[in-house]
Every structure is written in C-alpha cells, then in structure tokens.
Chain A
Amino acid sequence: METTLSSGTHLTSLSRTTGLAQLRAFGAIIWREYLHFVRYPTWVIAFIIWPILFPATYIFSSFALAGPSGVGVTRFLEVAGTDNFLGYIVVGTSVWMWANTLLWNVGFALRGEQMRGTLESNWMTPTSRFLFLLGSGPVHAVSMLMFFLFTVVEFRIFFHLTFNANLFSLLAVFLAALPALYGLGFTFASLVITAREANAFVFLVRGIVMIFCGITYPLAVMPPWMQAVAEWLPPTLIIRAARLAALNHASLEVIAPDLVRLLAYGAFWLALGYLTFSQIERRARLKGALNQY
C-alpha cells in the first residue's frame, strides 16, 4: 500500500448534520432510486407493454358487451355519463396503475432494502430514517408520466382513441392524490418490515380495493353498501376526478369537491403513516426485527 490516508492524531469525524445536509441526503436517496430504476430493464416492459396489456381484457369484454352495433353503449352512457367507454376504461386502468405504482414503491421501499441487505447500512447513518421512505416515491411518481404518454400514443394508434383533457385539472388531481398515497404507503411500509405475515394481508387489501374503486365500471353498478365503502377509498376519488379531467375537460371547480376530500384523507393517512412508522421503527430496535427476513 503506497498511499496513506490523511489523518491527524486526533481524529474528528467529517460528518456535519445540518438541515442542508439532510436535504442533500434526501436528494441522494432519490438519485439512488433513479439509478436503480433505469438500470433494471423491466421499465421498458412497464412503459411499452403494460399500458396496452393491462386494459386489454377489459376493453375486449366491453366490445363484446356493447354488441356489434353498439346497442349496449346506451346503458353505459346512462350509468357512466359518457359514451366513450374505451376512454373510460383506459383512464381508469392507467390512473390505477399510477396510484398503485407510487403506493407500492413507497410501501415496499423498506422491505426491498431489507431483502437486498442494505436497510441496516442506510439506517446506521445519521440521515433521518423517515427520509428513506419519503425518497422512494418521486422517481416513480414522475416516471409514470412517461407511462401516460405511452398510453395516449398507443391508444391513438391502435384504437383511434381521443381524449378531451384539461391538463391543468389533471395535474391538480395527481398532486392532490400524493398525500393520501404517501400516507398509505408509509403505513404499509412500516407494517411489512416487522410483521412477516403483513405481506399477504397487504396483497389482500390491494385486491379488495381494486374491486371497490371502479377501475373499469361506474360505482353505480355496485350494491349501495359497496358504493358507500368506495367513497372512503382514495383511489375511487382519484380515478373519478381523473376521468372527468381527462375525458370531459372538467374545470377545477367541477372536481374540487373530490380533491378537497382527497386532501382531507391525505392529512389523515399521512398522520397515521408517520405515527405507525415511528412506532414500528422503535419496535424494530427493541425486538430486532430489522435483520430478520
């Protein structure tokens, strides 16, 4: 070894914890997430194949139901308030994908690190542990914009689908959805690193939510009690508002009631998520759940 490291007799750490340093750490977490995103080639599949594959089964069954002359569409128009059933399905499925991607990337951020073996090396640094959760979302939230772009282009080409979107309202929907999705993500993230069985539970919840929130059909076709439950689920509101903004060129005033409720749910879930995380983080230190898979 020819090189020696610079050091004095009294070693003092180079680590300086300041607000700015925490912010820089937050940036580094997003950057790490970005590098992983682009280096796993699955994103190509996610962007090019999924936009068309995921809604495909619903679309073809809806073609069958509509009949060759489209007689079924009158009924659809009655309950859904639009005869653009193709657009209805596509917006439903792609907004669901967006919410899902964000929610589960946050929800499984810690679990993923735990399985990879890097969770402890992150948690033994002076960076606030909450930042690791917060930093896992932005890359995926933004990357999904690419997903939307592909969706629009692919459906234009293959199905001649046109949208009548108010982009400003649409952006407002996505922004209003963030707190609720993050809050839910924090809650799930905390559960899945300590309780082994939480994984199964979380998948169950996802399956149930998918039925309730009307991804490809209007809520009106469900029994009243299911409709009542659906009103409490953030994805229902996100999808409904996004449809109005993307297909009916709805202005902000039209979707405002749903957005306000989304923000209220967001405040609730963020608070709950933060509390759960703080509790679980302490519990993990006491019970030693971090290094056990």
Chain B
Amino acid sequence: MSDYAIEALDLVKKFPRRAPAEQTPAPKNPLARLFHRPPPGEFTAVDHVSFQIHRGEIFGLLGPNGAGKSTTIRMLCTLLEPTSGTARINGYDVVREANRVRQSLGIVLAGERSIYWKLTGRENLEYFAALYHIPPEVARRRIDELLDYMELTSRANELVEKYSTGMRQRIVLSRALLARPPIILLDEPTLGLDPQAARRIREMVLDLKRQGHTILLTTHYMEEADQLSDRIGIIDQGKIIALDTPSALKQRIRQQDVIKMEVAGWKPEMAEAIQSLSGVSQMVSRYLEQDGIWEIHLQTGNSRAILPRLIEHVNTNGTHLVNLNIVVPTLEDVFIHLTGKALRD
C-alpha cells in the first residue's frame, strides 16, 4: 500500500484548441465537413500540477471557473489520459492500472444528469452496483444501508425525474459510495443546490471523513473549501499557486488589512486612481446587481494611513461611499492577494 491515497506528479493536460467558428467556417458539404479539421493548436488546461493527499484527509481544490479543477478530476478517474505526468490512486497508476483505479474510487462529477431520470432511485443504484462489480447479496444490503443513510428509503421506488435537485445529488453521492471505495472524488458537489441541501451534503462529507474515506473535493465556494478541507490547493489557469492548510493560507496575508467598501455610482476610471494610492497592494471590484452598487475589495499594509485619502477619492463627482468595513481575511482574499483578481465575478 502506498503512503498516499492520491498522488499527482507533474500532471499536464493539453486539449486541441478549436479555432473560433468565424475564422474557419466549416465546409457546407457534410462529407467534407466530416474530414474537416480546425487548424492545429493546443490549450493547456492543467499545467504541471502536483499534490499528495494523505489517507483520511479532505483535500480541497479551490479555483475560479475554467481553472482546470474538473480536468484534474477527470484525469484522476481515468476518463482522460494525462498529456504528461503521472497520478496514482490508492497506489495504482491511473493509466496502466485503470481498472484498479476505478475499483478504488467513488466519483461525483458536476451536474445532476449523471444518473438515469427514467429509472427509480433504487434501480439506479442496482444498475451501478452491477457496473461496479459488487456481488449481488453485498449490493442489496449496501443499497438498503445507503438509502437509509441518505433518508431516501421512502422515495426509493419513485422515478428520479420526480426528485428534487437535492435528492438527486444524494442518489449521485450514494452511487459514489456503493463500492465503499477508500477514495472519493467530488467535483463541485454542492453546485446548484439550495443552502439547506448544500449544508446537508457538507455534513455528509465530514461524516465520510470520520468513517475513514479520503476525499478530494473541488469547489469555487471558498467558505466550503475553508469549512471542509484539511488542506487546500488553490488552482488558477491550470497551475497550483498555493497549497496549505486553510489557516496557514490565511496567515500569509496576516500583515494585510482587507477593506471592503460599497460604493454607489462607481466609475471604472476611478480604479486607477485608487490603485495608485501608496499602500494599496490589491484591488478588485464587482457589481452587485440586486443592490445596484459596487463592492470594492482592497488589500493594504496599513489601513489607518490610507483611509482618509481613500474616502476622499471615493466621495467625488456623484460617487459616494455607502459602507466600509475592515474585515478578517478570508480565503477569497488570499486568492485576490495571489492573483489580483476575484474568485467569482
């Protein structure tokens, strides 16, 4: 048995880049279109990613849209072959020992369409138990146990299309747990769920850790990563740019003050003026649609020194400050500190 549950070494995934449609129109003739190839080019979705996850650990992969989280997961679960680099799951190589890897893993990919809506919850689990090569008697007991655990027993014989999104996600999670795999990969497990359903999934993740499972989870919710993960890898544009425990990551900007302002009538030109104030190290802005105001995040070495000038700058030409707080740094601020941009926009 390997020391690590999951080991990624210099993983790289390049995809053929498709040229924008208007540049190279596909031929009209269907036969010609079949053999038509867009001009070659490559796009690096995952760029030399390495990490090691201990047994029994929850590891969070945090990053914005398009960072390469799902691509990393797909390589680990044998759906994609790495362009270069290697990965081991439970000690098995993801390319050469793909079947062992599949036996060791339970996987939740993003999206609720990964189960059959025209089958009942129980039928879905029976079907996948057979695909996972679980002996029938074992499977039967396991399915009852899982349905019970997920509080789905009373609805188990209804078609999945009648379920709520949260119930579907619990079936998807049950499927991942069918083989009682030592390692579980969760790609955005709470995406699209209402807050209550999301909280329930998060509780289950913690419970699974207590039962001894190793969990790799991706998310772009920093609260989720913070709350669940023992360690976090921050990924941006295919690269891991920081990897540590949540508190250690936040320690990195301990010397920084984080100022959060709400501003009405903000003009993008003002950004330059504020960024050039001495002492401002990072600034990101985002428009809050429902309130019609702008939220401005600033990081600075010394908030006391810049506050007067900052307020003066903001309260000009019909722009005015609605609210200002000096806040405790979150993982999002760590991300802003590292990349100069917001995790979500």
Q: Which residues on A are within 8 Å of B, measured CB to CB?
A: 1, 3-18, 21-22, 24-25, 27-29, 31-32, 35-36, 39-40, 116-118, 120-127, 195, 197-198, 200-201, 204, 282, 285-288, 290-291
Q: Which of B269-312 contact A (CB under 8 A)?
A: none
Given the known interface contacts A3-B149, A28-B127, A197-B36, the answer about A15 and B133 at a Cβ–Cβ threshold of 8 Å is: yes
Q: Do B149 and A1 touch (CB < 8 A)? A: yes
**Please, how many angstroms separate the alpha-carbon atoms of A201 and B109 in the complex?**
32
Task: Using CB atoms, name the residue of chain A closest to B178.
Answer: A14
B231 at the interface (CB under 8 A from A): no
- Most chain B CB neighbours (cut-off 10 Å) among A18, A32, A40: A32
CB pair B118 A39 closer than 8 Å: yes
Binary contact track B98-130/A, C-beta < 8 Å → 1, others 0? 010011110101010111101100010011101
Residues of B within 8 A of A36 (CB): 116, 118-119
A173 to chain B, nearest CB (A): 32
> Is A15 in contact with B179, judged by CB distance below 8 angstroms?
yes
CB of B180 within 8 Å of the partner chain:
yes
Residues of A within 8 A of B182 (CB): 11-13
> In the complex, A284 Cα to B136 Cα: how many Å?
32
- 5 tightest CB-CB pairs across the interface, nearest first? A117-B113, A28-B130, A21-B133, A200-B30, A125-B131
| B134 contacts A16, C-beta separation under 8 Å | yes
Contacts of B13 in A (CB 8 A): 288
| B25 is an interface residue with CB less than 8 A from chain A | no
A8 and B212 contact, CB distance less than 8 A: yes
Additional A-B contact list (14), CB under 8 Å, known A124-B107, A126-B133? A1-B203, A11-B213, A15-B134, A16-B135, A17-B133, A36-B116, A117-B114, A125-B133, A126-B131, A126-B132, A127-B131, A201-B31, A282-B81, A288-B13
A125 with B102: in contact, given A6-B145, A21-B133 (CB under 8 Å)?
Answer: yes
Known: A7-B212, A32-B116, A120-B114. A288 touches B15 (CB 8 A): yes
Chain A residues near B207 (CB-CB < 8 A): 1, 4
- Looking at the complex, which one of B113, B128, B149, B159 makes contact with A5 (CB distance below 8 Å)? B149
The chain B residue sitting closest to A24, CB to CB, is B130
Is B23 part of the contact surface with A, judged by Cβ < 8 Å?
no
- What is the total number of residues of chain B having a CB less than 8 Å from a CB of chain A? 64
Known A-B contacts A124-B79, A126-B103; the reply to A118 vs B114 at CB < 8 A is: yes
- Contact (A122, B149) CB under 8 Å given A14-B138, A198-B34: no
Whether B148 is near chain A, meaning CB under 8 Å from some CB there, is: yes
* 17 pairs from A and B in contact (CB 8 Å cutoff): A4-B149, A5-B177, A11-B181, A11-B182, A11-B212, A13-B103, A13-B104, A15-B133, A36-B119, A39-B118, A118-B114, A121-B115, A197-B34, A201-B31, A286-B81, A286-B83, A291-B79
Residues of B within 8 A of A (CB): 13, 15-16, 26, 30-31, 33-34, 36, 71, 74, 77-81, 83, 99, 102-105, 107, 109, 111, 113-116, 118-119, 123, 126-128, 130-136, 138-139, 142, 145-146, 148-149, 151, 159, 175, 177-182, 203-204, 207, 211-213
Q: Total number of A-B contacts with CB less than 8 angstroms?
A: 167
Q: Which residues of B contact A25 (CB under 8 A)?
A: 130-131, 133
Q: Which residues of B contact A120 (CB under 8 A)?
A: 79, 109, 114
- Contact across chains for B179 and A285 when beta carbons are under 8 A apart: no
Instruction: Provide the residues of chain A in CB contact with B80, threshold 8 Å.
Output: 285-286, 288, 290
- A204–B77 Cα gap in the complex (Å)? 37
Cross-chain contact B133 with A16 (CB below 8 angstroms): yes
Known A-B contacts A14-B179, A201-B34, A286-B81; the reply to A9 vs B212 at CB < 8 A is yes
CB atoms of A118 and B132 under 8 A apart: no
Residue of B nearest to A197 (CB): B33
Contact call B34/A14, Cβ cutoff below 8 A:
no
- Bound Cα distance from A200 to B80, whole angstroms: 27
A124 vs B73: C-alpha distance when bound (angstroms):
11
Q: Are A116 and B113 in contact (CB under 8 A)?
A: yes
Chain A residues with CB under 8 A of B104:
13
Kindly report which residue of chain B lies nearest to residue A286, judged by CB atoms.
B81
Known: A16-B134, A291-B74. A121 touches B114 (CB 8 A): yes
Assess the B131–A287 pair: CB atoms within 8 A: no
What separation, in Å, do the CA atoms of A170 and B115 have in the docked complex? Answer: 39
CB distance from B171 to the nearest CB of A (A): 11
CA distance A18 to B135 in the complex (A): 10
- Contact between A197 and B30, CB atoms less than 8 A apart: yes
